[in-house]
Structure 1
Amino acid sequence: MAIDPVCGMYVSEDTDLYLDKDGTRYYFCSTGCLEKFREPEREEKSLKIRLIVAWSFSIPILILNYALVSPYRNYILLLLALPVQFYSGLGFYHGAYGAIKNRSGNMDLLITLGTLTAFIFSLFITFDGNVFPVKYTYYDASVFIITLILTGGYIESLTKRAANSSAHRLLELIPESVHMYSNGNVHDVAYENIKTGDAILIRPGENIAVDGTIIKGTTEVDESMITGEQMPVLKHENDNVYSGTKNINGSIIVKVNAVGPNSTVNKLYSLIQMAAMGRAKIQRIADVFSSYFVPVVISAALGSSIFWFIYLNHEGDPISLIISVLVFVSVIVIACPCAIGLAAPITLLISSNESLENGIIIKNSSSMDRLSHINMVIFDKTGTLTNNSPNVSYMRYYGDKMLVNSMLISIEQASNHPAARAIVNYIKELPHDTYTINDIKEIPGFGIKGAFNGREISVTRDGNFTVLNYNNEKLAEIKIEYKLRDSAKIAVKKLIKNGIDVAIVTGDSKENTVNIAHDLDINKYYYNIKPDQKAEIVKKMQRDGKYVMFVGDGINDTIAMEAADVGVSMSSGSDITKENGDIILLKDDLKNVYNMIIIGRKTIKKVRQNIGWAIGYNSALIPVAAGILVPLFGLSIYFVLPILAALAMGMSSTTVVLNSLRIKKSIRRSISL
């Protein structure tokens, strides 16, 4: 059985509703889900229009149903109900049809069953009031069920975004044109016209558009998109470079090995999309409830209807068939809990707002269910557990401090190297002057040099160390490193204390990874890991029964974040990473990693409570609709059922909202502990 990537329902692979995208076939339970997947923006716009139509007609129906006294009242209500029933509610019918085809129950089937039964029954009353011994209609119940469920769906959609938006942003790293190199001549051509075997020139500061091999030149390349590490990598002739990375300081000529769909950027794009689609496997709570509740309701309706038909027929009642139909309709309509559509969205909205006040942005509210189960947290290292930019950890002077500071800031401000930026930011806070440095030249793999007062000045880089030389004399030695965030130790300690496993997965070296893991008392760590390998580690942990949260900041983390049950981005991370994540940590406070897990657990607990309240009022009236009070009050009980149904609808909706508001206090109390 396949899984619908939109609603999470199980779908037979024999269905005709499928779509091939990026080499993968996706199956759908209904045309509605297929269209949502194919054109999410169009479907969201359609939902908004259907919701406006629903409220525009539902409010007049509610008012006229109780305020209008006229022989034409039912005809007026019918005309007002038609747009809501068959335009606003059309999506539910598609979903119900898909559920029936797949022999399963979902929320759409429950809504369709209740609203169509109410509408058709009301239609009979409108055109032939003598068919049934009652004169009321259920137009108001039918349209308000549809309207409230659509409202809940729209509230949910406000916190969502297209699953592949970050993947499209990734493609923006590719330049529209490149510099074609041929026989010593250079001319610009469109990216689409590049093919394998071509040679292109890549100048300092430009993004690399293709996967290829350097055939001339030396440079340093920012490969943070792949490794997550900010320090540039020195590249010589015959070394490979990858699309989406950035050339820092040298001109190189590259032979194209892969372009278009076969390039690194496009492969990442496809992997992100596939990972995003795989995350919709958890069904919505309301659908899970409906899969059990629908058979119960139908059984109760049929059972009570058949009972009254047999009993009244045995008693010789001439309207036994009519009464049995009336009982069936009453049970179905009464049992349909309109507030269930608000049970989750209202809670999620309030929870998201409370999270924001605590420095947590919940971008994808549907992640709350997965968040409540998290028992494994994986951290990226650089930019996540550590600051995202290197810092000067210490500086040793071998000459006059004022002179050294002035020389360093004067020459390093001409460099794009991360170590140079760290030194400049450090010295800005110290006493210094600004000197004129002549003949500045940045040398990939070496550093930067120039002339000051007619003598050579140079800054050489070797790993984490930078050395200032002047006239062949060492004047200073500086150590550059990524410092742990202030909140890292507290966050990891709290997670482990509460039984949540922690691991580090990074593209950095073994030495740096081991040092950080030791400082944080983390026993499980992985180093020199590529983006797709990060995702595989996440998937393996999931196969071992873990619910995984991945916390990262770089483009190289996006696939793992999508593969994880919950993806969390640092606010200082790349725009693509922030778009991709379910949650963003404002102020980069890692202590909120545990807090958001608590918020998820509290939220889902409240949603389940709301579903209980949503069905409680209506379910309590099912025995009444089935006729349990008929022996005491006779058929007159059916004259007050519309009032009881309206009361149940109002009380359940009000209770859901009030109960949802209580989550604010619960979250604040739990986080403060």
Structure 2
Amino acid sequence: MSHQDLLRPPDTRVVELDIEGMTCASCVNRVEKKLGKLEGVEATVNLPLESAYVRVPAGITDEQLTATVEAAGYTARVRQPHRPSQGTSEVTDAQITSGDTGEAAAPGGAAVEGDHLAHGGTAAQLLPRLLVAAVLTLPVFLVSMVPAFQFANWGWVAAALALPVVTWAAWPFHRAAAINARHFASTMDTLVSLGVAAAYLFSAWQLAADPRMTEHPGMEGMETGGLYFEVAAVVTTFLLLGRYLEANAKKKAGDALQALLNLGAKDATILHDGVEQRVPADRLQVGNVLVVRPGEKIATDGVVVDGNSAVDASLVTGESVPVEVAPGSAVTGATINTSGRLLVKATRVGSETTLAQMARLVSQAQTGKAPIARLADRISAVFVPVVLAIAAATFALWLLFSGPDVTGGELRSAFTAAVAVLVIACPCALGLATPVGLLTGTGRGAQLGILIKGPQVLEDTRTVDTILLDKTGTVTTGVLAVDATAAFSSFTEDEVLRLAGAVESASEHPVAHAIAAAAKQAMHDDGALPAVQAFRSAPGGGVLGTVEGRLVVAGRTGWLEDNGIPFTGGQQEVLAAAEAGGATAIWVAVDGTPAGVISLRDTVKEGSAAAVARLKHLGLRPILLTGDNAAVAAQVAAAVGIDAADVYAGVLPEGKVEAVRRLQAGGATVAMAGDGVNDAAALAQADLGIAMGSGTDVAIEAADLTVMGNDLTQVAQAIELSRKTLATIKTNLFWAFFYNAVGIPVAALGLLNPMIAGAAMAASSVLVVANSLRLRSFGR
């Protein structure tokens, strides 16, 4: 349950709505305002997820909510919550045979709302329209603008080819404009629809009035106003391209939840009456006993009832050191059993598991993040009505000043001036300003290993002043490595490491792998370690074996005590000092005598310190965030140059989200860099989420920016690129509006022929594209 939910009055409830038909930020505002007019209702609408998170007081029904959304011109459906099975009985043989083992949940233990995640519809519908528009627009453009391609009566061919473009291909714009008109509202879709229709209909009227105006190639009837079929077709094609790119990015917004759910095991082995049986993980019940072998995922949350092992929980907790488990230990679904065989009794299944709760955290964080309206959408509320008013006033004033006797020529002049206003105002450059700038910036980013999800991300990078850096896998490698070796009495450090590496090489424990790898690297010959004989291991304790005729024991304090090996006070102080410094410390004894202590740490990535310095140079305050203890966190912070006061240690996944919220509540604009599943909710909650490419799919999908490399320096470069791309888009928008501000009055005065207006509009588009292409030199 979120912090906001805890503060919610007891007589209110939360309703999640799926909403269809929203196309821009003004649609979001309209839905929120409509729902907000219901007494006591608070709504947060998310455009990419096409959903609304609504707090509803008693007395307001679901039907009232959906009816209110539909009254705003959109369709709404209440999302039904998943009801997990609360049964405690085990799956029976008959149930396994019949497949009737309880209510099915999604893989990983959480329900998936198919419609909520299926965002491919819009992009899939736009693609054929875009392809048809592009194929038909090219010949229309060539025959209209290049005299060499013209032939007798080419105007009729251009009209025929442009007709499917301005009707079927441009239908999404016309439909949105009609819906908005029904509710006395307007968006950029309104101007696109009117501009395209006006350019085509005016051209068709001109051609119908003078069927022979294109009888001779090169003659377009300049004196009658000309033909602008190519204007209508090109505008439609370019804006469809921009809308398709937008829809394609939007469709991936729900992938974070799917990636999180996919981390769970797909099936599980249950022990029933002494017989092992394989069943789908979504059919597990509370009380089932699961058999988990080394290397397998634990299918659901539970308690170990038999066996000892080390569990790799890094996918869920982000911690690099495996957790030792024994009978009575709690384990989490989606973690990996690394060594011994375990029997686990399921305690939570379905939507109650830790994994499912983390999926809800991601969903709530994404829904709660207010979408940043694009500049064009914000201005369209004023721009579109003003343009329409100017066009209407232009037509009326031309007729008024023509006097009482209006001739056909004067009527044509009035209509030509009004159409020129619509054509010059038709927002081709405005529509291109964001997608072309974004396309160029993201293309250059891809070359540099930086992925930017959308234009709202660029807005976020401009104002970010604080960056949270997850320790494991972001600032550090996330892999244990030998940090130091201390030798006692007559032993040398190399000898201690070599003997420990030899005996540990027979173990499958991650700590053993790290010691064996360090020992091989320290060898000066062929890197081969001595053979081990009579090897024996104790899960959670340690290992022993005979190496070169000497009994070598390595492990924790209890393991050495069990083997009758005594310690001196000084030797215990060496171990305690290593652990106090944040290291994982392992005893090594030879022939019954302590020989030394090996310390292992999660190592700091090369370049992390330089990256932190670069982030500070960008004006950001770096904060280290980790689930590790304070000693480990302090050491890492000191190594990379983060102030001790800016270290948050011992933070759980839920705590990471809360840390972001606290900073935001204090007025900070927060970026979050992480790579693990435990970071996903915080990445979604942050104003700017940055995922390291070496991390999990869910972290990458929940983030706004992804750096595909393993270097924290790329995070700073990603922020720089985002800010540069945003600046380019703003420059594009300025010139697009400046062009309209100058062109519209000239057109209204009748000083601009619609054909010249079309050419000027094309020139403004070229300017926008050329300005965007400058981003290709970023980082060179």
- Shorter-chain TM-score: what band? 0.7 to 0.9
> In structure 2, do the counterparts of structure 1 residues 274 and 546 end up closer, same or farther at CA, with 3 Å as the change threshold?
same
Q: Greater shift after overlay, 471-480 or 346-355?
A: 346-355
Q: Greater shift after overlay, 497-506 or 379-388?
A: 497-506
The amino acid across from 1:444 in the alignment is P
Q: Does 1:85 pair with 2:197?
A: no
Aligned partner (choices 51, 56, 66) of residue 135 of structure 2: 56
Distance 1:382 1:651 in 2: 51
Contact 1:159–1:365 under 8 Å retained in 2: no
Q: Deviations over 1:469-517 (max 9, x none)?
A: 2332223311111233332333333433543222222211233223333
* Cα RMSD, aligned residues only: 3.6
> In structure 2, do the counterparts of structure 1 residues 51 and 207 end up closer, same or farther at CA, with 3 Å as the change threshold?
same
Residue of structure 1 in register with 2:25 after alignment: 8
Please state how far the C-alpha of 1:381 moved relative to its aligned partner: 1.1
Please state how far the C-alpha of 1:294 moved relative to its aligned partner: 1.0
Contact 2:25–2:378 under 8 Å retained in 1: no
Q: Greater shift after overlay, 384-393 or 28-37?
A: 28-37
1:273-284 matches, cutoff 5 A: 273-279=363-369, 281-284=371-374
> 3-state DSSP class of the match of 2:241?
helix
Contact 1:163–1:277 under 8 Å retained in 2: no
Count, aligned residues = 656
Residue of structure 2 in register with 1:236 after alignment: 326
Q: Deviations over 1:630-660 (max 9, x none)?
A: xxxxxxx6xxx13312321331122112212
Distance 1:315 1:128 in 2: 21
Q: Deviations over 1:532-576 (max 9, x none)?
A: 331232234334433221111212111111222222222332344
Distance 2:444 2:346 in 1: 51
The amino acid across from 2:642 in the alignment is D
The amino acid across from 1:8 in the alignment is A
Distance 2:621 2:497 in 1: 45
Distance 2:251 2:634 in 1: 37
The amino acid across from 1:54 in the alignment is A
Contact 2:688–2:704 under 8 Å retained in 1: yes
Residue of structure 2 in register with 1:633 after alignment: none
Q: Does 1:509 pair with 2:629?
A: yes
> In structure 2, do the counterparts of structure 1 residues 81 and 587 end up closer, same or farther at CA, with 3 Å as the change threshold?
closer
> 3-state DSSP class of the match of 1:589?
coil
Contact 2:623–2:642 under 8 Å retained in 1: no
Distance 1:212 1:38 in 2: 29
Please state how far the C-alpha of 1:233 moved relative to its aligned partner: 1.7
Aligned partner (choices 622, 626, 642) of residue 754 of structure 2: 642
Please state how far the C-alpha of 1:380 moved relative to its aligned partner: 0.4
1:198-209 matches, cutoff 5 A: 198-209=288-299
Q: Does 1:172 pair with 2:172?
A: no
Q: Does 1:295 pair with 2:385?
A: yes
> In structure 2, do the counterparts of structure 1 residues 31 and 127 end up closer, same or farther at CA, with 3 Å as the change threshold?
farther
Contact 2:46–2:370 under 8 Å retained in 1: no
Distance 2:417 2:589 in 1: 95
Contact 1:149–1:340 under 8 Å retained in 2: no
Q: Deviations over 1:351-381 (max 9, x none)?
A: 2344355553435565222222211111101
Residue of structure 2 in register with 1:465 after alignment: 585
> In structure 2, do the counterparts of structure 1 residues 343 and 282 end up closer, same or farther at CA, with 3 Å as the change threshold?
same
> In structure 2, do the counterparts of structure 1 residues 275 and 129 end up closer, same or farther at CA, with 3 Å as the change threshold?
farther
Aligned partner (choices 622, 642, 646) of residue 521 of structure 1: 642
Q: Greater shift after overlay, 486-495 or 367-376?
A: 486-495
Q: Does 1:46 pair with 2:138?
A: no
> In structure 2, do the counterparts of structure 1 residues 33 and 657 end up closer, same or farther at CA, with 3 Å as the change threshold?
farther
Aligned partner (choices 373, 388, 394) of residue 463 of structure 2: 373
Aligned partner (choices 420, 424, 436) of residue 512 of structure 2: 420
Q: Deviations over 1:566-602 (max 9, x none)?
A: 2222233234433443333354332333333222222
Distance 1:102 1:517 in 2: 56
Residue of structure 2 in register with 1:659 after alignment: 771
Q: Greater shift after overlay, 341-350 or 157-166?
A: 157-166
The amino acid across from 2:660 in the alignment is V
1:546-557 matches, cutoff 5 A: 546-557=668-679
Residue of structure 2 in register with 1:612 after alignment: 734
The amino acid across from 1:80 in the alignment is L
Q: Greater shift after overlay, 37-46 or 21-30?
A: 21-30
Please state how far the C-alpha of 1:328 moved relative to its aligned partner: 2.6
Q: Does 1:146 pair with 2:258?
A: no
Q: Does 1:491 pair with 2:572?
A: no
Q: Deviations over 1:417-462 (max 9, x none)?
A: 3322322222222125433324544433212333446764322147
Q: Greater shift after overlay, 477-486 or 71-80?
A: 71-80
> 3-state DSSP class of the match of 1:330?
helix
Q: Deviations over 1:209-235 (max 9, x none)?
A: 111222333332222223211111222
Residue of structure 1 in register with 2:276 after alignment: 186
Residue of structure 1 in register with 2:687 after alignment: 565
Please state how far the C-alpha of 1:160 moved relative to its aligned partner: 7.0
Distance 1:36 1:104 in 2: 28
Scaled by the length of structure 1, the TM-score of the pair is: 0.87
Contact 1:107–1:287 under 8 Å retained in 2: yes
Aligned partner (choices 514, 526, 539) of residue 444 of structure 1: 539
Contact 2:420–2:747 under 8 Å retained in 1: yes
Scaled by the length of structure 2, the TM-score of the pair is: 0.76
Aligned partner (choices 529, 539, 542) of residue 661 of structure 2: 539
Unaligned ranges ≥5, structure 1: 630-636
Contact 2:660–2:682 under 8 Å retained in 1: yes
Q: Does 1:260 pair with 2:380?
A: no
The amino acid across from 1:644 in the alignment is I
> In structure 2, do the counterparts of structure 1 residues 570 and 645 end up closer, same or farther at CA, with 3 Å as the change threshold?
same
Distance 2:427 2:168 in 1: 21
> 3-state DSSP class of the match of 2:668?
coil
Residue of structure 1 in register with 2:521 after alignment: 429
Contact 1:227–1:529 under 8 Å retained in 2: no
> 3-state DSSP class of the match of 2:482?
strand
Residue of structure 2 in register with 1:411 after alignment: 503
The amino acid across from 1:656 in the alignment is V
Contact 1:372–1:598 under 8 Å retained in 2: no
Please state how far the C-alpha of 1:145 moved relative to its aligned partner: 0.6
The amino acid across from 2:265 in the alignment is P
Distance 1:71 1:652 in 2: 31
Aligned partner (choices 197, 204, 219) of residue 116 of structure 1: 197
Contact 1:106–1:288 under 8 Å retained in 2: no
> In structure 2, do the counterparts of structure 1 residues 650 and 318 end up closer, same or farther at CA, with 3 Å as the change threshold?
closer
The amino acid across from 2:603 in the alignment is K
The amino acid across from 2:518 in the alignment is Y
Contact 2:239–2:432 under 8 Å retained in 1: yes
> 3-state DSSP class of the match of 1:243?
coil
Residue of structure 2 in register with 1:634 after alignment: none
> 3-state DSSP class of the match of 2:467?
strand
Residue of structure 2 in register with 1:360 after alignment: 450
Distance 1:167 1:88 in 2: 33
> In structure 2, do the counterparts of structure 1 residues 57 and 8 end up closer, same or farther at CA, with 3 Å as the change threshold?
same
Aligned partner (choices 585, 590, 594) of residue 474 of structure 1: 594
Unaligned ranges ≥5, structure 2: 1-16, 36-44, 55-65, 78-113, 212-220, 558-578
Contact 1:244–1:264 under 8 Å retained in 2: no
